[in-house]
Structure 1
Amino acid sequence: MTLNMQWLTMAVMLLSGLGMGTVFDGYRVVTNELKLPRWWLPVLDVVYWMAAALIVFRVLYASNNGEVRAYVFIGLAIGMVIYYFFFSSIVIQVVKWIIGAVRKLIQIVLKCLDILIVKPILLLYKLVKVILAFGSALTIFTLKIVIQLVRPFWKLFVWMAGPVIRPLGRWLSRYAAKWQLVGKLRGFGQRIARLWSKWFRR
């Protein structure tokens, strides 16, 4: 391996160390802001180091065909030291700012949805409810007036039709008893109820 290849590999490893520090600080800040349970942290650490090892090996393979030398670890160490001394606090502040901006954006979106969708739907629901209540009250009031107006005429009609209705009722009652209409109607109703229970209450 040439000297230029070695310096290139060391520079790539230095950048990899910077990237590892950036990702580590970023995911740490995110887990703290999201208030994840403490037992998640070891799991996430293992996932982070496995992913970092795979990515570093892939970068190393692309730069020097995967040869592991001392300068590889030196480059990684120098990159991580440079990151934690010069860039760690900046990255942490930037990640916190991004999280705060995302939270504010979500709050704005939710507020817009509440103003543009939720509140109009609730207002429409209340309006429909008031209209239905008013319509029901008006209908009941109108029916009461109609019943009060029709009641004298109905009583007059029943009084006038009494001589005809009473003999007709006696005549129909004899045939109803003869044909057992009441029992047949009751049995028909019971069959309908059983069919309804069988078909629609499974």
Structure 2
Amino acid sequence: MSLDTQFVTLLSMIGMGIYFGAAFDTYNRFLVRAKRKVWFVFINDILFWCIQALLIFYVLYESNQGEWRFYILLALLCGYSAYQALLRNSYKRLLEMTIYWVNKFSEFLVKLGALLFIRPIKGLIALIITVILLIFQVLLKFGNPLLWLAKYLLKALISIVRVIFYPFTSTASWLWKTIPGGVRSPVEKFFDKLAGIGKKLKNTINKLLKKWTNKS
């Protein structure tokens, strides 16, 4: 190897040593070993070390075609030691700050989604229920001849609602994918309950329609 290649390799391995220290602290921060099962920690440790080894070898291959020298190990240890002595505390503070602001931003997105989408949807559901009840009141007064008209009105209402809310649902779907799973969990539970209520309401309406049709 030429001196230039050796110098580039030395700097690359020092940089990888610093990177490894930061990656190891980041990995431990998100793993939370005390709260995980032994087999889960074991599998993740194996994956982490394999990935780091592959990354180091890739950088080494790009630097000197993968030729191994003793000073490469020393450069890795030097970079890792430099990280531990000079950069670790600053990096961990930066990591915690980043996690904090990402969580805050995720909470903001959830609240914004609730304000822009969930509340209007709840209001729309209340409006639909009111319209359905009014239609049933009309049916009870005037009888079966208006049953077909009620069905067409409901279909038209549902189509109009879908067209009006299509931009909102598309935007909500895109925003939903950007929110972390831990933050989405409470909202998903809310929609599951809402879906259950909607299903019960649909079944009740179908039963009433069948009874009314049979009577007529």
Regarding TM over 0.5, the answer is yes
1:36-79 per-position Cα deviation (integer Å, ceiling 9, x unaligned): 55532222221121111122122222222322221111000000
Match of 1:119 in 2: 119
Aligned AA (1:130): T
Pick closer, same or farther for the CA change 1:84–1:45 going to 2, 3 Å.
Answer: same
Pick closer, same or farther for the CA change 1:101–1:120 going to 2, 3 Å.
Answer: same
Match of 1:148 in 2: none
Aligned AA (2:47): V
Unaligned regions of 5+ residues in structure 1, if any? 144-202
- SS of the residue corresponding to residue 67 of structure 1 reads coil
Structural RMSD (CA): 2.6
Match of 1:18 in 2: 18
Pick closer, same or farther for the CA change 1:19–1:138 going to 2, 3 Å.
Answer: same
2:90, 2:38 → 1: CA distance? 25
Match of 2:63 in 1: 63
Matches within 5 A, 1:35-184: 37-137=37-137, 140=140
- SS of the residue corresponding to residue 68 of structure 2 reads coil
Shift of residue 126, structure 1, vs aligned partner: 1.5
| Higher mean C-alpha deviation, range 79-88 or range 120-129 | 120-129
Pick closer, same or farther for the CA change 1:40–1:92 going to 2, 3 Å.
Answer: farther
Aligned AA (1:29): R
1:67-115 per-position Cα deviation (integer Å, ceiling 9, x unaligned): 2221111000000011011111222222222222222222111211211
TM-score (norm 1): 0.60
Match of 1:159 in 2: none
Larger-Rg structure: 1
Unaligned regions of 5+ residues in structure 2, if any? 143-216
1:58, 1:39 → 2: CA distance? 29
1:79, 1:128 → 2: CA distance? 65
Aligned AA (1:24): F
TM-score (norm 2): 0.57
Between the two proteins, what is the percent identity of the paired residues? 27
Pick closer, same or farther for the CA change 1:48–1:9 going to 2, 3 Å.
Answer: same
